[in-house]
Structure 1
Amino acid sequence: MWSIGNEISEQHSKNGGPMALELAAIIHNLDTTRPLVDANNNPDTSNQIIKSGAVDLVGYNYHQYDWPSFHDRYPGKKFIGSETTSALETRGYYQQPSDSMYYWPYSNEHGKRVPAKMNEDHTVSAYDQVRAPWASSHEESWKPIKKYDFLSGMFIWTGFDYLGEPTPYGWPSRSSYFGIIDLAGFPKDVYYLYQSEWTNKDVLHIFPHWNWNPGDSIDVWAYYNHADEVELFLNDKSLGIKKKQGDDLHILWRVQYEPGTIKAVSRKNGAVVLTKEIHTAGKAAKIALVADRKIITADGEDLSFVTVKITDAAGNLVPNADNLVHFTVNGEAFIAGVDNGSPTSLESFKGSEHKAMNGLALAILQSTEKAGQVTLTATSDGLEKATITITTK
């Protein structure tokens, strides 16, 4: 579809209707195959653009509480969630308890903006429990879209984190927290909510990590599909079977932490579908490198994205590791960029080193125009180094 505007002031101007009709005529003169929409942050019946009839779909930016009654307001019209959600997460950080919802950077109390108490280290919980005050969590957005057939779908703000708009914080935060995927391309946990709802892939994703203090009360979530139930185990002792009820999108166990292994088993008609485990990680001991592609084109443009993992001696990701990693390249490629997904990192995206964030960093290799073998080596003080080979041809 084509959009003629996003949150523009003419929504409530006498010029809004004529301008919308003029823009619609220009677009229809160029392309009659796609419907028109505009994105309205004030989608009430005083909206002059909607009233003009210029658009084929009525776009709602947020206002999720009004979605179920859309046809009461606009009988016979077609709905699209033109901007939704604006939930906030830092990959790999978790705040207990997980069933408390936070509205940051302020809450609306009695019609007034009241500053919210936020984390001094500029972190945001990855449990889908923090959202902008005008917005909704991922689950709050998806549930009504899933429930009501006349709600045609939604655009999520946002798929990826991006530079700028570091809501809910200010400097030194310098990138957004809105993404389903962080700035380095690493999935946040809520990625697996959408994977379980929107794909045919078998999904069982449990979180958080399993490095806490003895006796801590930790909420363990599971996103899953293609199963009737999930059973959770702590060090091989069952913590019970959970099933989604009603419109649930996840299940939760409140667990008293002890080190070891947390394991989830999903079943369908009694048969195991998937099993996932998370182990308590020991001290950071080595680096692991994983390339998304080990063969790339020698055209001077192709890329291989290499995930850098800080692990213990047994290969478990160390969930709080922030080691500085140095990179060297030999062969027909160079480092196009480095990152770790942190919204607060002020390190350069260019260079030959970068710190990890919650155990992960990224190095992007770019080919030259010569075919050959490329070796990437990653080192860090006190850690066993890692090497990976990429072929360009």
Structure 2
Amino acid sequence: MTISLLLPKQLALLSLCWLATYLPAHAQRQQLLFNNDWKFHLGDAPGSERPTADDHAWRAVTLPHDWSIEGPFSEQWASATAYLPGGLGWYRKSFTLPAGYRGKKVFVYFDGVYKNSEVWLNGHFLGKRPSGFASFQYELTPYLATAGPNVLAVKVDHREVADSRWYTGSGIYRNVYLLATAPVHVQQWGMCFTTPQVSKSTATGKVSVALTNASATAAAVTVTSTLLDARGQAVATAKQVLNVKAKADGTASLTLPIKSPALWSADQPNLYRLRVSLAVQGKPTDEVTEEVGVRTIRFDANQGFFLNEQPTKLRGVCLHDDAGALGVAVPPEVWERRLKTLKAAGCNAIRMSHNPHADYFYRLCDRLGFLVMDEAFDEWERGKNKWVAGWNVGTPSQHGPHEYFKEWGDRDLRDMVLRNRNCPSIIMWSIGNEIDYPNDPYTHEVLNTGRNPQIYGKGYLPSHPPASEMGPLARRLVAVAKQADSTRPITAALAGVVMSNFTDYPAALDLVGYNYQEFRYPEDHKQYPQRIIYGSENGMAPSAWAAVDSNAYVSAQYLWTGIDYLGEAGKWPQRANGAGLLDMAGFPKPEYYFRQSLWTSAPLLYLTTAEAPSKPGARQPHLAPTWNWPAASQVHVVALTNNEATELFLNGQSLGKKTGRLPAWDVPYAAGELRANGYRNGQVVSETQLRTVGAPTALQLKPDRTTLAAKTQGLAQIEAQVVDQAGNLVTDATNEISVTLTGPARLLGIESGDIASHEPYAAPRHKAYQGRLLLYVQATGPGAIRVALAAPGLTSQAAELRAE
């Protein structure tokens, strides 16, 4: 079986990156970022939807805003959601309509509000959206005061805090936009770009434009589509005149011939800009511009995945959308830094676990060259266990998105696809994650045939819903997704394949993802030869990658997980999950370098150490890049490498040369320098070392940038280090570091990466973890910014930034 799909890039009418965006003066569409000058109240405030409600004592906030991350951490809350509170909150914004918006259709667009949001304008109810991950838009026009003040009010209800298996945050945690259009305009998510024919010499672009004529008279609308290359030069143009009745919709279809297309790929993410403009009687009424890409994808049951007809292994990671100290209100610079770090390890694919992410995240994947599995749900009509006292401990909560799935599930899925369908990075739509987890909630008689609880659960539980329910639901969701986009395959991540194989669920899918079930690949490939199999969620073991690397028919591995994340935690005091290649500060862990050794070809050599096991066969201890041990210690040294051989030296004396990706030595500790050389073809191609470091003496600051964009509230990410007299990082330092900030900036948070720390994220001080901290400093206006660090007994240091 082969699925061949020819794709583009994403449109999302209102996802124009992360900047306040103004279109050219001749265009009738206007859009601005609507994040400033909001007021917030935590707790219920009945009547706050009324414009005359008193909010003078409410707190001023700038969106995006996540109130849960403000804490405090407490054991009274749920381990599933990071032991952080939920609650109910209100937001209000008073504004005067910009002059250029008067006489137009005016909309407000929310990229995400967690959850159960209700929105009013000037006391008029606009609507409710239960999902905290959906993007949605309301028209404001009928209730606007065009000359005087307007009040937008948003109520957010997250009182059911244990409603997810991971941290979700609370509040208006993504961008908000204000949009004005002429009566004749492109609909929300109304532009679609596909490339049904692609070769190296030519390609055909198809543009579908859904538009609305909201005026009282019929209109002959000229629809013009122009494709611009990276230099801004037009490479293809098409026009169509569409007669649209008054108060009616219409759809234009245009064809763009593209000569010598610059194909989008993970290695060369070439992008075009697609501009669609509308005009009536020669006068422009609307213009929408979106980045798009030209490429092909194809999945084959025997040969795996092909990108632009090139066989490609998907070296992927799963990602939740929090960033530690920032919760889920994450500036784009944070994800840009994280994604570039993952890319350096050879990662080329991202699974959006287990919900749609922020609008800008997809733009970053398009521009950086990641292949994306976009995912809609973690549960359907039946709920899953959300652990409260630690994973698999005590009595779980059963609250969750299943409570509104029957009414909203189809729409949430359709909106995800429409919002993101023009992204060249997206190569598949996932309708669910681990819906078939054995007995959580579905069950089947086959579960009585095995003894491994990870595979078979607790055996058949007739009180649970039957697994047969999943097939009809899956078929319905697949149909919804394909109606919105027929160019990509539909998939799901299956956790209980042993059970699902006895249902219609896998057959409803184009691609069948296997979570942690590599052992089933050969058997199921033989039994279901038409099934396209890949690893949708996998552990870090080398064998899990070998199952992909050594089998052409297995196209992908998505590691759990790329980055540590809040929630899905163990018992208190753990508040986060530490399964990532990177910690919550985005610092690489040893696992990162091992993955880099598997996924990249450039010479790599990284040294780690641990206390030597007391007896043969003992469990491998935690590895860390340190050469500070008690005298007379026996130390286990492991090199992570992709070289042919590695030689280890202690204080200049060779301890022998070994081969393999994980060569190891047991070494009697001696202070000084531990050095390793990596060899290929008998030549040294890489070298690394660990040194014994002294006591902490000073602080160091390493900003990722020194110039910030003042108008767009640019962000600096500053690494703070505790160092010894020679400037070496002291990896066991836990000094409490205080931050003083002067100038037009604010400290968004401090992250250490310690998954058991309960220090308040909003405080201007934090203990170092493994000798480091990460500071998030955001510009609030133009001018000089000074970031100073201090800690008792250590030499302080400051960094000078500038916002302009």
2:704 is the alignment partner of 1:288: no
2:599 is the alignment partner of 1:198: yes
Q: How does 1:132-211 map to 2 (within 5 A)?
A: 137-166=540-569, 169-207=570-608, 208-211=625-628
Return closer, same or farther for 1:335/1:228 CA change in 2, 3 Å cut-off: same
Give the aligned partner of residue 329 of structure 1: 741
Which of residues 222, 229, 238 in structure 1 aligns to 2:645?
Answer: 229
| Aligned partner of residue 497 in structure 2, secondary structure | coil
2:656 is the alignment partner of 1:240: yes
Which of residues 750, 760, 763 in structure 2 aligns to 1:351?
Answer: 763
Give the aligned partner of residue 382 of structure 1: 793
Give the aligned partner of residue 77 of structure 1: 531
Could you list the per-position Cα deviations for residues 158-181 of structure 1 after superposition, in whole angstroms to 9, with x for gaps in the alignment? 111111112xx3001111111111
Offset of residue 201 of structure 1: 4.2
Larger radius of gyration: 2
- TM-score when normalising by structure 2: 0.40
Q: Is the 8 A contact 1:10 1:48 kept in 2?
A: no
| Aligned partner of residue 583 in structure 2, secondary structure | coil
Return closer, same or farther for 1:17/1:256 CA change in 2, 3 Å cut-off: same
Using the alignment, how far apart are the partners of 1:50 and 1:234 within structure 2?
60
Q: Is the 8 A contact 1:335 1:351 kept in 2?
A: no
Q: Is the 8 A contact 2:468 2:504 kept in 1?
A: no
Aligned length: 334
Q: Is the 8 A contact 2:467 2:500 kept in 1?
A: no
Could you list the per-position Cα deviations for residues 54-74 of structure 1 after superposition, in whole angstroms to 9, with x for gaps in the alignment? 111111111232234331342
Q: Is the 8 A contact 1:21 1:52 kept in 2?
A: no
Offset of residue 52 of structure 1: 5.7
Could you list the per-position Cα deviations for residues 351-380 of structure 1 after superposition, in whole angstroms to 9, with x for gaps in the alignment? 21110012111111111231x332211110
Give the aligned partner of residue 319 of structure 1: 731
Q: Is the 8 A contact 1:84 1:154 kept in 2?
A: yes
Offset of residue 270 of structure 1: 3.0
> Which letter maps to 1:361?
L
| Aligned partner of residue 637 in structure 2, secondary structure | strand
Offset of residue 235 of structure 1: 0.5
Q: CA RMSD in A?
A: 1.9
Could you list the per-position Cα deviations for residues 1-46 of structure 1 after superposition, in whole angstroms to 9, with x for gaps in the alignment? 1111112246852222222111111111111111111111111265
Q: Is the 8 A contact 1:263 1:278 kept in 2?
A: yes
Could you list the per-position Cα deviations for residues 295-335 of structure 1 after superposition, in whole angstroms to 9, with x for gaps in the alignment? 22113532111111111111111121100001112222221
2:490 is the alignment partner of 1:36: yes
| Aligned partner of residue 242 in structure 1, secondary structure | strand
Give the aligned partner of residue 276 of structure 1: 688
> Which letter maps to 1:36?
I
Return closer, same or farther for 1:152/1:158 CA change in 2, 3 Å cut-off: same
| Aligned partner of residue 473 in structure 2, secondary structure | helix
Using the alignment, how far apart are the partners of 1:10 and 1:4 within structure 2?
17
Q: Is the 8 A contact 1:300 1:366 kept in 2?
A: no
> Which letter maps to 1:239?
L
- TM-score when normalising by structure 1: 0.80
Using the alignment, how far apart are the partners of 1:357 and 1:323 within structure 2?
8
2:6 is the alignment partner of 1:6: no
Using the alignment, how far apart are the partners of 1:73 and 1:294 within structure 2?
58
Return closer, same or farther for 1:49/1:356 CA change in 2, 3 Å cut-off: farther
Using the alignment, how far apart are the partners of 2:478 and 2:528 within structure 1?
20
Identity %: 36
Return closer, same or farther for 1:183/1:39 CA change in 2, 3 Å cut-off: same
Give the aligned partner of residue 103 of structure 1: none
Using the alignment, how far apart are the partners of 1:216 and 1:149 within structure 2?
46
Using the alignment, how far apart are the partners of 1:352 and 1:288 within structure 2?
17
Return closer, same or farther for 1:295/1:197 CA change in 2, 3 Å cut-off: farther
Structure 1: gaps (5+ residues): 86-136
Give the aligned partner of residue 121 of structure 1: none
Q: Is the 8 A contact 1:68 1:144 kept in 2?
A: no
| Aligned partner of residue 596 in structure 2, secondary structure | helix
| Aligned partner of residue 562 in structure 2, secondary structure | coil
Which of residues 636, 653, 667 in structure 2 aligns to 1:219?
Answer: 636
Using the alignment, how far apart are the partners of 1:140 and 1:177 within structure 2?
21
Return closer, same or farther for 1:314/1:40 CA change in 2, 3 Å cut-off: same
> Which letter maps to 2:784?
Q
Q: Is the 8 A contact 2:470 2:504 kept in 1?
A: no
